[in-house]
Structure 1
């Protein structure tokens, strides 16, 4: 029998101004929310990474995952994603091993290339070196978690005879993200699974993974607002989604910022298809079709809050996911 579907939450912990919330208050409320969501049957929480953002986009997803591990008992935790080329891979191996141990093996390390010029310059990295930095970094992670000495004489990293301690009792899976075809093929080649940000990329990954003789696994992020009255909810939070997407565009997430225009308003954003608004039945139908078409998808997760939204506003949508969408998907998947 296949495991039940896992619906999860995605966090960036942004707190744009003007805001009366402190980051201490936001972090405490978010951890409370994660523990509460687990009690409702929400199955995962994912934490993203960016640096030097005016809105405080979390630069430390592993630290937050460790805090969440101490507030939960069954929920899977992961990064979606850590920008591995920015990190020393030995230090990343140590931190990820610690989160795995704290969570008793409930942790998946999601990694990707990154794209923001400011971050690479500040950390002394070069954007064009991203593929080799990522590939060598993953090699070092796996060696480090084996318990044996790490040896790599690579283009970007030279490591000789280092032993990482303690090693994880259950090695985190390395989930690799990507949107462009070369990045998806790389994810299939070097990862234990795929972090999908767009459902349309999943078949590309699955075909490549199968061609390599690998057992594919997918965790699929969704850019959708799910509410009983989605139009009313979009009127409430659509401008926050607009801010979120336009910030990514300005950072270069979708290509050179001088070539990719921002969206003028929330209606243009919705019409452009980067965000969707679903009622519970539509959400359940979409997830059910996705899981039936691609049973390798083991996790479907949604933004818990949009930047600047009160945690309570996100909690109302979490209740919809837990009380309406998850039971409907579970029931539908039991039907022949």
Structure 2
């Protein structure tokens, strides 16, 4: 088994009105450069629009800046809401990022869910499956230099147009999903699965098998909803309010189902009771993650929120250092030894 990658997840949300976005961006970019030196192996960026807290609307721009600040870590999107975008532009931007970073960029997409975003970009939520699937097909053709054109239900592209420059190392095209039907689609069209909750991983592997793919060769990139710290309860007492803000915003947008049917969390304690976040010290994290990698060797990457919305970058850096020095090396050592 190859060593798994430990990474960071960023949304660049800044609900603090007293913290200018320019300095916040620079501080986070400094953090990412430092994190690579600590042994962090990946950074994942996510996307939303029209958010008061500045939830990143431009992951590709940030990915380019991160690529210039780093030399080895992989950069990916988890995820781009592809139905909001022209797939040719997605193909072009991803190819350019791959070239700029020496092949370190992977494009992760998903079908989205927030009605307000779709309306603002002139799309309809009910069309998102076909928008996603046709978009993925166009991106693949673009990277392959296929200029035969495309005539689909949602997109049309004349023949004779070649997307250039082509990536020298073709990015992985990953798809994220949470509903069973969307996971089935990901198993059919994607190079790998962006797992938002570990509970969905077996659903994906079962879908890969049904689709005639190789379960042994399947690839999962797993976002973790865990706070890893020497005293996680003490840290949670300080940052739980930020998790409350984060999760209730997602619920209000429809990430976990119709907002009117999905109750919001009343307080940080309820989040833990529901298992929406877990608290791990190093010993627990090593045990849990070693078991995950052994049970599902298809998991190639686990990534954790660098800091929660409104939390200071310094506070997030404390957990990053703890993860990189106390958890990741021990997990890798156990996996190598079989102990």
Q: TM-score, normalised by structure 2?
A: 0.97
Distance (whole Å) between structure 2 residues aligned to residue 186 and residue 197 of structure 1: 16
Distance (whole Å) between structure 2 residues aligned to residue 50 and residue 285 of structure 1: 34
**Are positions 1:158 and 2:156 aligned together?**
yes
Distance (whole Å) between structure 2 residues aligned to residue 150 and residue 188 of structure 1: 26
Match of 2:58 in 1: 60
Q: CA RMSD in A?
A: 0.9
Distance (whole Å) between structure 1 residues aligned to residue 10 and residue 245 of structure 2: 15
Deviation at 1:230, TM superposition (A): 0.5
Q: 1:272 is matched with which residue: 271, 274, 287?
A: 274
Aligned residue-pair number: 334
Q: How big is each residue's C-alpha offset from its partner over 1:123-166, in whole Å with a ceiling of 9 and x where there is no partner?
A: 00000000000000000000000123152110000112221111
Q: How big is each residue's C-alpha offset from its partner over 1:89-125, in whole Å with a ceiling of 9 and x where there is no partner?
A: 0011111111111111111101001000110000000
- Unaligned 5+ segments in structure 1 are none
Match of 1:16, SS? coil
Q: How big is each residue's C-alpha offset from its partner over 1:229-262, in whole Å with a ceiling of 9 and x where there is no partner?
A: 0000000100000000000000010111111111
Match of 1:84 in 2: 82
Deviation at 1:210, TM superposition (A): 2.8
1:225–1:276 contact (8 Å) kept in structure 2:
yes
Match of 1:172 in 2: 171
Greater shift, 133-142 or 145-154, is seen at 145-154
Match of 2:308, SS? coil
Distance (whole Å) between structure 2 residues aligned to residue 267 and residue 280 of structure 1: 21
**Are positions 1:131 and 2:146 aligned together?**
no
**Are positions 1:141 and 2:105 aligned together?**
no
Distance (whole Å) between structure 2 residues aligned to residue 124 and residue 283 of structure 1: 44
1:210–1:216 contact (8 Å) kept in structure 2:
no
1:140–1:150 contact (8 Å) kept in structure 2:
no
Question: What aligned pairs does 1:1-336 form with structure 2 within 5 A after superposition?
Answer: 2-17=1-16, 19-161=17-159, 162-211=161-210, 212-214=212-214, 215-336=217-338
Distance (whole Å) between structure 2 residues aligned to residue 188 and residue 66 of structure 1: 29
Q: How big is each residue's C-alpha offset from its partner over 1:170-201, in whole Å with a ceiling of 9 and x where there is no partner?
A: 11101100111111111100000000011111
Q: 1:136 to 1:129 in 2, by over 3 A?
A: same
Deviation at 1:3, TM superposition (A): 2.0
4+ aligned runs moved over 3 Å, structure 1: none
Match of 1:258, SS? helix
Distance (whole Å) between structure 2 residues aligned to residue 70 and residue 316 of structure 1: 24
Distance (whole Å) between structure 2 residues aligned to residue 275 and residue 183 of structure 1: 23
Distance (whole Å) between structure 1 residues aligned to residue 255 and residue 10 of structure 2: 17
1:97–1:168 contact (8 Å) kept in structure 2:
yes
Deviation at 1:62, TM superposition (A): 1.1
Q: How big is each residue's C-alpha offset from its partner over 1:208-244, in whole Å with a ceiling of 9 and x where there is no partner?
A: 2133224310000000100000000000100000000
Q: TM-score, normalised by structure 1?
A: 0.98
Match of 1:277, SS? strand
Distance (whole Å) between structure 1 residues aligned to residue 2 and residue 280 of structure 2: 25
